[in-house]
A and B are shown apart, each in its own frame.
Chain A
């Protein structure tokens, strides 16, 4: 079941939660709504679920929510066929795990309610699916965070939803459980192929788990794309800064000159450090700190000409070869950079030490970009 949100705006008093957002989610995909808190991602999810309504919902020109091309804007949450998992799970505290999962089936009106034996069978299947088959009689208070999360998921799946929506599904869990659950949820998605949208503020989670990532900021969508695309070809300075560590450097004078560009971004793993002088296209920097106690060696540098701070990630073996000490002067070469002028963006790769700026309608002079 595909989901479409069309031109959704939402205000809470004077606060703008969503400003004319449109989004299409293909059927059977696992999509992440990624953004900092206050970006509107949870509001969008709740509007899709029918727990909130867009501004002026009665006006036909206003925001619409469509499931499989059908307008569900006026359909109440309970009849949208949506499974919703709340951030803090919202399990029914006074009911056993079994009764929690059975709830959606037992509240159905007489005609459509399954027989008691069928409900029991279905709940037991779900308990097995979420690997909690021995926990049916427990109360939610007696479960760990990860177990509660899985009960909430089973409860949502019990009504065989066409769409599964998860609000910060791993937000309240510790790091280890979070990783395991992430992997497990991915497997579950492969198994069930329910169209799934989840909200997260953790870029690593979004990039690792989702087929498609929707990056949101300040009530708007910044970029939609698969994890590879949003990471490698970020559409805006916000996206590149939000998705992982990045060095932000001013262009202009000296060797980092790119015509018409204001800001240069380079990921730490695209920063190459070399001993001694390298011809022409390298910049000089001084070593501030070397951190080697991780799977990548991290080096803090200061640009010799402007003093700007640069973080570099170097493979450990290479770090060993370099044998850097605090205060050493080194050459730094950027393998891949992103350049942003005011308002728009261009893309640049460093090929053979040349900064090749490519942009629609822009031809680098002499067939090559500026030297770095």
Chain B
């Protein structure tokens, strides 16, 4: 009798262990593959960018940035991002607000439209602007100086160039980074619903007070995250900007385009040095993202700690 019981116990125990986890070689194998993959595809390239950049020493590294063309590219990148990000911040908040808090006809269409820049290849995004504003484009012929009966004298005197110029780069950047803020905010605002805003209104708050004191604090971390991602893309965009840029050195080159030119000229070290700037941007983005998440947790913890103090004192 006792023998039967102990056998049963043994079988049960054995089964339990088997069902609890996979064999050690499977677990370590999977972890190993994951680590190897991450190392090969993420860490090695990251390290390569910096080692190549510093290959000829610190002096050569910084020399790559002293080049006037490199400085112009950096300036233009910051300009394009500096215009595109604030505009998309405003557009994104407005679009997310409209979609999340109101019901209207064509809402589904608007959501699809916002996602469009993600669905379209960046090269095509650039081409759209060439087709629109290029010399042979739909609107191009009206932009240059000339005698167009539809427009006023002042407009006709202006020689507006969009393609192969800074405005084209800014427009292409706005287009490809349009969805970031809105996409981050729409699910967040939809989940939050309208009740808090309605509560603020019944308490006598006006539209601006409701927006600034109730809506914004509720979305600020999502908004910040959206802006950080939007900025990273705005500075790193290659395809769309490449099509509209015309690659005029010192004038219409952004950092990614400048890297390409350096690389094509076999100036590998300088190419990697400038590329490391974008890599740094990516790292800062990651740090900011983690900081945001950490801070959010921290606020709750601090509040809880203050609470405990209040009750123990």
A residues engaging B (CB < 8 A)?
49-51, 76-79, 82-84, 86, 88, 90-96, 103-104, 107-108, 134, 137-139, 141-142, 155-156, 158-159
Task: A137 to B201: give the CA distance in the assembly, Å.
Answer: 24
- Give 1 or 0 for each of B199-229: 1 = CB within 8 Å of chain A CB: 1111111100100011001100000000000
Shortest CB-to-CB span from B222 to chain A, Å, is 13
Q: How far is the CA of A103 from the CA of B204 in the complex (A)?
A: 9
CB distance from A126 to the nearest CB of B (A): 13
Confirm or deny: B307 has a beta carbon within 8 angstroms of a beta carbon on chain A: yes
Contact of A90 among B196, B205, B307, B311 (CB under 8 A): B196
Q: How far is the CA of A51 from the CA of B214 in the complex (A)?
A: 17
CB-CB < 8 A to A141: which residues of B? 300
Q: Does B6 have its Cβ within 8 Å of any Cβ on chain A? A: no
Do A93 and B311 contact each other (CB < 8 Å), given the known contacts A103-B203, A107-B205?
no
| Distance from A139 Cβ to chain B, minimum over Cβ atoms (Å) | 5
With A90-B199, A92-B214, A94-B218 in contact, is A138–B307 under 8 Å at CB? yes
Closest to A88 in B: B195
A159 adjacent to B204 (CB under 8 Å): yes
Q: Which chain B positions have C-beta within 8 A of A137?
A: 303, 306-307, 310
Report yes or no: A51 in contact with B303, Cβ–Cβ below 8 A.
no
Residue pair A78, B202 in contact (C-beta under 8 Å): yes
Q: Please give, as numbers and ranges, the residues of chain B lying within 8 Å of A96 by CB-CB distance.
A: 303
Report A-chain residues with C-beta under 8 Å of the C-beta of B196.
90-93
One of A51, A78, A93, A159 near B206 (C-beta < 8 A): A78
Q: Which residues of A contact B214 (CB under 8 A)?
A: 92
Q: Is the interface of A mostly helix, strand, loop or mixed?
A: loop
A271 to chain B, nearest CB (A): 45
Query: Can you list 15 A-B pairs with a CB-CB distance of less than 8 A?
Result: A50-B202, A77-B198, A78-B204, A84-B202, A86-B199, A92-B196, A92-B200, A96-B303, A107-B200, A107-B204, A134-B310, A134-B311, A138-B307, A155-B199, A159-B203
Do A77 and B201 have beta carbons less than 8 Å apart? yes
Q: A134-B311, A139-B300 are in contact. Are A84 and B206 (CB under 8 A)?
A: no
Give bound CA distance, A155 to B204, whole Å. 12
Chain B's closest residue to A49 (CB) is: B202
Contact across chains for A142 and B195 when beta carbons are under 8 A apart: no
Measured CA separation A91–B310 after assembly (Å): 22
B202 touches A83 (CB 8 A): yes
B199 to A84, Cβ gap below 8 A?
Answer: yes
B195 contacts A86, C-beta separation under 8 Å: yes
List the A side residues contacting B306 at CB < 8 Å: 137
Nearest CB of chain A from residue B73's CB, rounded to whole Å? 41
Contact check, A77 vs B311: say whether CB atoms are below 8 A apart.
no
User: Of residues B206, B214, B217, B218, which shows the largest number of chain A Cβ atoms within 10 Å of its Cβ?
Assistant: B214
Q: Please tell me which one of the listed residues B198, B203, B218, B311 contacts residue A107 in the complex, with CB atoms under 8 A apart.
A: B203
**How many whole Å from A144's CB to the nearest CB in chain B?**
13
Contact (Cβ within 8 A) A77 B205? no
Is there an interface contact between A142 and B198, defined as CB atoms closer than 8 Å?
no
Whole-angstrom distance between the Cβ of A179 and the nearest chain B Cβ: 26
- Given contacts A88-B195, A138-B307, whether A94 and B217 have CB atoms under 8 Å apart is yes
Count residues of B near A (Cβ-Cβ below 8 Å). 23
A93 touches B203 (CB 8 A): no
Question: What residue of chain A has the Cβ atom nearest to residue B304's Cβ?
Answer: A142
Beta-carbon contact of B300 and A90 below 8 Å: no
Taking a contact as CB atoms under 8 Å apart, the answer to whether A107 and B209 are in contact is yes
Residues of the A chain whose Cβ atoms lie less than 8 Å from the Cβ of B300: 139, 141
Given contacts A134-B310, A139-B300, contact A78 B203 (CB under 8 A): yes
Add 5 more A-B contacts to A86-B199, A134-B311, A142-B303 (CB < 8 A): A86-B195, A90-B195, A94-B218, A107-B204, A137-B303
Cα–Cα distance between A155 and B209 once the two chains are bound (Å): 17
Q: Are B205 and A78 in contact (CB under 8 A)?
A: yes
Checking A79, A86, A90, A134 against B204 with a beta-carbon cut-off of 8 angstroms, the contacting residue is A79
When distances are taken between beta carbons in the complex, the residues of chain B under 8 Å from A134 are: 310-311
Q: Tell me, in angstroms, the Cα distance from A213 to B206 when the chains sit together.
A: 34
Tell me, in angstroms, the Cα distance from A223 to B218 when the chains sit together.
42
Chain B residue at minimum C-beta to C-beta distance from A108: B204
Q: Which B261-312 residues have a C-beta within 8 angstroms of A?
A: 300, 303-304, 306-307, 310-311
Q: Do the beta carbons of A77 and B202 come within 8 Å of each other?
A: yes
Most buried by B among A96, A139, A141: A139
Across the interface, name the chain B residue whose C-beta is closest to A50.
B202
- Measured in the bound complex, the distance between the Cα atoms of B215 and A169 in whole Å is 24
Closest to A107 in B: B205
B190 to chain A, nearest CB (A): 15
Give the distance in Å from the alpha carbon of A86 to the alpha carbon of B310 in the complex.
Answer: 29
Bound Cα distance from A76 to B203, whole angstroms:
11
Residues of the B chain whose Cβ atoms lie less than 8 Å from the Cβ of A90: 195-196, 198-199
A-B interface, 4 closest residue pairs, ranked by CB to CB distance from nearest: A90-B195, A104-B203, A90-B199, A107-B205
Q: Are B303 and A138 in contact (CB under 8 A)?
A: yes
* Nearest chain B CB to A145 CB, angstrom units: 16
| Least distance between A128 CB and chain B CB atoms (Å) | 16
- In the bound assembly, the distance between CA atoms of A79 and B203 in angstroms comes to 9
Q: For A139, give its contact among B204, B218, B303 (CB under 8 Å).
A: B303
Chain A's nearest CB lies how many Å from the CB of B228?
20
Bound complex: CA A104 to CA B300 (Å): 24
Which residues of A are found within 8 Å of B218, using beta-carbon distances?
93-94
Give complex CA distance A84, B198 in Å: 9
- Closest chain B CB from A171 CB (angstroms): 14
Q: Which residue of A lies closest to B311 (CB)?
A: A134
Q: Which residue, of B195, B196, B202, B303, has the highest number of chain A Cβ atoms within 10 A?
A: B202
A94 to B212, CA, bound (A): 13
User: Which residues of B have CB within 8 Å of A93?
Assistant: 196, 218
Q: Are A51 and B202 in contact (CB under 8 A)?
A: yes
B209: nearest residue on chain A (CB-CB)? A107
CB neighbors of A among B174-192 (8 A): none
A104: chain B residues within 8 A (beta carbon): 203-204
List the A side residues contacting B310 at CB < 8 Å: 134, 137
